Amino acid sequence: MTGSSLFCMADADFRIVAGLFGICCNGGVCMKTDWKKLIVCIVIPVLTGALAAILTRGAMAEFDALKQPPFSPPPWIFPVVWTILYTLMGISSYMIAQADARAEEKERALAVYFYQLVVNFLWPIFFFNFGWYLFSFFWLLLLWGLVREMIRRFSDINKTAGRLNIPYLVWLTVAAYLNFGVWWLNR
């Protein structure tokens, strides 16, 4: 038995794509990782975020001139955090796609995942390009609710896949504070 197999058998609840081991633990059963599918699952949200960043790049000078709420992080934090979050989203979606669960349950969970990804993509366009700060705040609340539902559905299938998205929900909470603060301070 290899160390990675022992790892899977020791904690069946800790199902995670373990890139270092090259396996996917699903219910205590160790399987080889489908690297093509994993890469596609990671690339989809990362490219979604990258496209949104490209489309909003021109609005950054105007945004920089706005009053910012207290405790606003430095600008370099945002692309770092979003890249990590998009990667975690991709890994978790892969875990759901590969999970040993009913097809309809996985389809519903992944549908919520894709809905939230669309809402996520549109938020920076509404916020940065259109300057719709209050609308964007409510849009962000919609996104927060979709992500909460995605976490619930993912957790029903694979607890680790759901947990991987908790940092995303926390970051959206911070983003909602920042979004509301920008609206409030610049109305």
Q: Would you list the DSSP string of 111-177?
A: HHHHHHHHHHHHHHIIIIIS--HHHHHHHHHHHHHHHHHHHHHHHHH-HHHHHTTHHHHHHHHHHHH
What is the pLDDT averaged over residues 16-32?
Answer: 52
What's the Rg (C-alpha) of the chain? 18
Q: Which amino acid is at 181?
A: G
pLDDT given at position 26 = 54
| Highest mean pLDDT: which range of 12-16, 24-28, 117-121 | 117-121
Q: Are the beta carbons of 165 and 88 closer than 8 angstroms?
A: yes
The pTM (predicted TM-score) of the whole model is 0.84
34-185: CATH, from 1.10.3720.10, 3.40.1130.10, 3.30.365.10, 1.20.1260.100: 1.20.1260.100
In the predicted model, is pLDDT for residue 98 greater than 60?
yes
For 163-179, write each residue's pLDDT tens digit.
999 999 999 999 999 99
pLDDT given at position 60 = 86
CA nearest neighbour of 165 among 176, 153, 152, 151: 151
Q: Please give the DSSP secondary-structure letter assigned to residue 30.
A: E
In the predicted model, is pLDDT for residue 125 greater than 50?
yes
pLDDT given at position 30 = 59
Q: What are the boundaries of each domain within the chain?
A: 1-33, 34-185
